Amino acid sequence: MIKPLRWVKQGLAIWRKDLQIEFRTRYTYSALVMFAVTTLVTVSFAIGGFTADVEITAALLWIILFFSAMAGLARTFVAEEETGTVTALKMAAQPEPVYLGKYLFNVTILCSLALLVVPLFIMLLNISIVLPLAFCAVVLLGTLGLAGASTILAAIVSKAGAKNSLLTVLAFPVLLPLLITAISATRAALGGGLAAEVRSHLLTLFFYNGVAVVASLLLFEYVWNE
Partner 1 sequence: MFWQIILGIWMSAVIVASFLYMPSTQGLGEMGRIIVYHVPAAWIAVAAYLMAMLNSLGYLRQNKLQLDRQAQINAELGTVFCLLATVTGAIWSRGAWGQYWNWDPRQTSITVLLMIYAAYFVLRSAIPDAERRARLAAVYAILAFLTVPFLVFIAPRVYVSLHPDLINVQNRSFAMDRKMLVVFLASLLGFTGLYAWMYNVQLRLENLLAAAAMKRREYDG
Q: Which residues bind partner 1 (CB under 8 A)?
A: 149, 152-153, 156, 159-161, 163, 166, 169-170, 172-174, 176-177, 180-181, 184, 200-201, 204, 207-208, 211, 215-216, 219, 222-223, 226
Judged by beta carbon, residue 113 or residue 170, the one nearer partner 1 is 170
Task: Kindly state the smallest distance separating residue 203's Cβ from partner 1, in Å.
Answer: 9
Task: Kindly state the smallest distance separating residue 182's Cβ from partner 1, in Å.
Answer: 12
Which one, of 88, 106, 90, 78, lies nearest residue 163 by Cα? 78
Count of residues making up the chain: 226
Distance CA 98, CA 125 (A): 39
Task: Kindly state the smallest distance separating residue 130's Cβ from partner 1, in Å.
Answer: 20
Distance CA 137, CA 27 (A): 28
Task: Kindly state the smallest distance separating residue 154's Cβ from partner 1, in Å.
Answer: 12
Distance CA 125, CA 112 (A): 20
Which one, of 27, 28, 36, 44, lies nearest residue 62 by Cα? 36
Judged by beta carbon, residue 133 or residue 214, the one nearer partner 1 is 214
Judged by beta carbon, residue 123 or residue 160, the one nearer partner 1 is 160
